[in-house]
Structure 1
Amino acid sequence: MTTNIGVVFDFDDTLAPDSTTHLLQEYDIDPDEFWNKQFRERVQNGFDPTVAYLTLLLDHIGEGKPLGELTPAELEQCAESLENELYDGVPGIFNDLDEIVAEYDDVSIEYYVVSEGIESLISGSTIKEYCTEIYASRLATDDNSTFTRVKRPISFTDKTRYLFEINKGITAAEATENPYKVNEQKEDRPVPFENIIYIGDGITDIPCFSLVKDRGGRVFGVTQQDEKSAKQEAILDIGSPQRAGNLNPPDYGPNGRLGSLLRLTIEGLCTDSTIDQLEAL
């Protein structure tokens, strides 16, 4: 029997600096004004935080507005300029973990991104080449391909839904066809939670940390100790704790603490799988 390992990353402030802030800067929009004033006011008026920032972006889209008639293609171009800001060791960490797993029989590994960020910004980066699925917020377009409305917001609690889809082996295509499929009882879980590793920055990832850890998986928190993004500051000021065990700087290289821990964790899962197989003989 094959042991399936699922490595799940948040994206913003986990694999790269906040992608929405990067978009704002590319279009000369002040991130502090956006996050610390406009976003905060919208949340304090009762908006879900993810809906707040997505609708705020939409308010900046249109003829004569800062983002112009923004399209998915333009977001993907913006993602290309984000490449130089990927954290140390990204995307090399994916190749290194693949090499570790390749040394063992009957062990497989897959990578996922689960983020409240905008899908087109994330999928336009090289990260997409390594990921089985990218789950992120979506904006819908009109007939001219201009973003006009919110299609799929992924808030912090929504993220756990996608962990269950991964756990149950439900593909994104299957979930699109039947969004309630994740609620079906399923005895066979292709990616057991004890084989799931979740990496996030600890602000919007607390429900995922709790779910994975409580079910025997492993979690790693990422933190910028010296500086926080305008988005992080706004969320923390609103009242969200940055709570996660095992906080590490975002260095995924072989000499970085986080990179070393991930490599050791994957090696350990592979070794455990081999021992279990030998004991079963």
Structure 2
Amino acid sequence: MEKQMPIVAFLYDFDKTLCTTDMQDYAFIPSLGMTPAEFWALANGFGRQHRIDGILAYMYTMIRESERKNLPFTRQDLVEKGRGIVLFPGVQNWFRRINEFGAAQGVQVEHYIISSGLREIIEGSPISGEFKEIYASEFYYDENGRPVWPKLAVNFTAKTQFVYRINKGVLDVSDDKTLNDSMPDDSKRVPFTNMVYMGDGLSDVPCMKMMRAYGGRAIAVYQDSNRMGVEDLLAKGRVDFIFKADYSEGTALDLTVKNIIRKMAISDQLWEENTQQLRSIGGDVLPNQVGLF
């Protein structure tokens, strides 16, 4: 039987990580006749007034304002609004290039989204097909395609749940039992040491700290508007690297990510060699951990 290649998983925030601003700002908010500043002030103010989770507050505000202005609000309408998303330079062909580089190093690269934005809008973007799974906030819709309840709300700390799902290979969000079952480290589908989390700011800190604690890598990207905040994350040891949000071939981001993949691939190869030797003498096999090799 052919041996399965080791998996390297890239976990991305979406807004201001792969695209230039909040995904609702491109088409949805203008359709309400509002500016982004007006909408977010309204949603955040509503959340504070009623002590509602910020993600649930913005989702409710989207429904309320659409109804108030008699505007269509269906799943398909939101997907269509994702067509206008503006991606950072190099993002559109990033996934193909990184996949090909990983394969050349002997690893299988997978990409995941973990976002507080809306899955429906992400699905309308030109890169939606690049991801093994999209974990993002989402509505449940009735038979007419109208939202009636939040299906999933992904706030900043809830993001870490999905890191564990990817680690264990339990991708179905309704399957909590398998997620919470005990599982030996050497049987987990994607070791934490083979994960890279990419985000843009404080909302990503829980996942970034998790990566650093468990041997993965954390990268923050920036635009001029948030460069100081990202530099602060680096200074405080919350991320491993920071880069300008340019995913083009040959950029510092591109080259460093390839070096990370190369190192993870070598670590996996050395672990496999060590495992074979231990098994040949009847020794105990240790989990694959960066730092052992």
Q: TM-score range by the shorter chain?
A: 0.7 to 0.9
Take 2:15 and 2:125, find their aligned partners in 1: how far apart are those partners? Answer: 13
Which one has more relative contact order, counting CA pairs under 8 Å at least 6 apart?
Answer: 1
Superposed, which structure 2 residues align to 1:1-281 within 5 Å?
Answer: 2-16=5-19, 17-22=21-26, 23-35=28-40, 37-45=41-49, 46-62=51-67, 65=69, 68-82=71-85, 85-105=86-106, 107-172=107-172, 175-176=173-174, 178-187=175-184, 188-226=187-225, 243=233, 244-245=238-239, 246-278=241-273, 280=276
Give SS of 1:126's match: coil
What is the deviation of 1:26? 4.4
In 2, Cα distance between equivalents of 1:196 and 1:276:
16
- Unmatched 5+ stretches in structure 2: 278-293
CA contact (8 A) 1:104 1:274 kept: no
Deviation, 1:25, is: 2.6
Shift in alpha-carbon separation, 1:180–1:275, aligned structure 2, 3 A: closer
Question: Structure 1: which 5+ residue stretches go unaligned?
Answer: 229-235, 237-241
1:123-149 deviation per Cα after TM superposition (whole angstroms, max 9, x unaligned): 222322211100110112233212233
Q: Partner residue of 1:239? A: none
TM-score scaled to structure 1, two decimals? Answer: 0.85
Aligned length: 261
Q: Following the alignment from structure 2 to structure 1, what is the Cα–Cα distance between the partners of residues 98 and 31?
A: 33
Write the letter of the residue equivalent to 1:256.
Answer: T
Structure 2 partner of 1:232: none
Q: Is the 8 A contact 2:103 2:109 kept in 1?
A: no
CA distance in 1: counterparts of 2:192 and 2:271, whole angstroms: 17
Q: Name the amino acid aligned to 2:90.
A: G
In 1, the alpha carbon distance for the partners of 2:196 and 2:73 equals: 35
Amino acid at match of 1:150: P
Structure number with bigger Rg: 2
Separation (CA, whole Å) in 1 of partners of 2:199 and 2:65: 28
Structure 1 residues 182 and 278, CA gap change in structure 2 (3 angstroms): closer
Report the residue type matching 1:118 in the other structure.
L
Local SS of the residue matching 1:121: helix
Q: Is the CA contact (8 Å cut-off) linking 1:14 and 1:199 kept in structure 2?
A: yes
Distance (Å, rounded) in 2 between the aligned partners of 1:27 and 1:39: 13
Match of 2:283 in 1: none
Q: Give distance in 1, aligned partners of 2:176 and 2:126.
A: 28
1:216 Cα deviation after fit: 0.3
Per-residue CA deviations over 1:202-223 (Å, capped at 9, x if unaligned) read: 2211110111110000000122
Aligned-residue CA RMSD in angstroms? 2.3
Distance 1:65 1:263 in 2: 48
Identity %: 26
CA distance in 1, matches of 2:66, 2:150: 12
Deviation for aligned residue 1:165: 0.4
